[in-house]
Amino acid sequence: YQDIRQLMRGVVTDLQVFGDSFTEVVWSKMGEPVALYSLDPTTITILANEHGMIKGYYQKTQTNREAWFLPKEVIHVKSDSPGDTLYGVSPTQKAILPITTWLFASALLKETYKRGDPLRAWVDWPIALPESEMKKFQQQYSIRNLGVKNIGNLFETKGGAVVKELGANQISFWHQTLQERRDEIIAAYGVPPSKVGIVEAGNIGGGTGTSQDKTYRVNTIGPVQEIVLEKFSFSLMYQAYGITDWT
């Protein structure tokens, strides 16, 4: 059900997320490749000898289905990795810290807005106040003061309780954190800001548009295209048909 364009997009996506892409090659009895199928990188184990020479590939799915592949039955495209290991290192793995920080900061803002940006406060209860009354007040606070529908409601206490604010909200700081982590993430992927719709102040003209598009194509797209094309050309032209004079 896939066409070659979808297959190639899947290869690049797997490289960006997992650092490795695996494509199954089905061979006919005449020794020619007749079909290509995407393989889930999270289910593939590379089998190699003590010298690092690949002997085959093993796949085990979440439903415990197994498959064994010969080296010529899988096209393995690998991102660069330190130490020339069998597996590649993806930009997502390299940027895992700013990505995680961005996710937590986004979740923090989501919950803050969901609760109506509540006051960060502490309550000094009278020492004689029963615990049941404290819990009752906490429940009332959740119902009457938290959530966007309760914005502006009066904050009330009785019985001598004292409420004080711990500090101002940090929403502006959290937004700044999101932007800084966003810039780290797109830098790890090699994507100029204008390519993902980020308008940079003061860079109207030469700083965006054509120049960033050229940088993106040469520095980011080009190397990925080369390693993908090299692997597929070697497997499907040289190994299958013995063609050695392509350009």
The per-residue pLDDT for 71 is 92
Question: Per DSSP, which regions of 70-135 are E strands?
Answer: 74-78, 121-124
How far is Cα 217 from Cα 115, in angstroms, rounded to an integer? 44
How far is Cα 141 from Cα 144, in angstroms, rounded to an integer? 5
Least Cα distance to 91 among 232, 226, 220, 222 occurs for: 220
The answer to whether the beta carbons of residues 178 and 100 sit under 8 Å apart is no
Strand order in the sheet with 74-78: 33-39, 20-27, 74-78
154-201 residue pLDDT tens: 877 777 788 887 777 788 899 999 999 999 999 999 999 888 888 776
Name beta bridge partners: 66: 60
The H or E element spanning position 12 is helix 4-17
| Chain length of the chain | 247
Q: What string of pLDDT tens digits covers the 247 residues of the chain?
A: 789 999 999 999 999 999 999 999 999 988 889 999 999 999 999 999 988 899 999 999 999 999 999 999 999 999 998 887 899 999 999 999 999 999 999 999 998 888 888 888 888 888 888 888 888 888 888 888 888 887 888 877 777 788 887 777 788 899 999 999 999 999 999 999 888 888 776 665 555 668 888 989 999 999 999 999 999 988 888 888 888 886 6
192-219 residue pLDDT tens: 988 888 877 666 555 566 888 898 999 9
| 57 phi and psi angles, rounded to 5 deg | -135, 145
Least Cα distance to 72 among 19, 10, 27 occurs for: 27
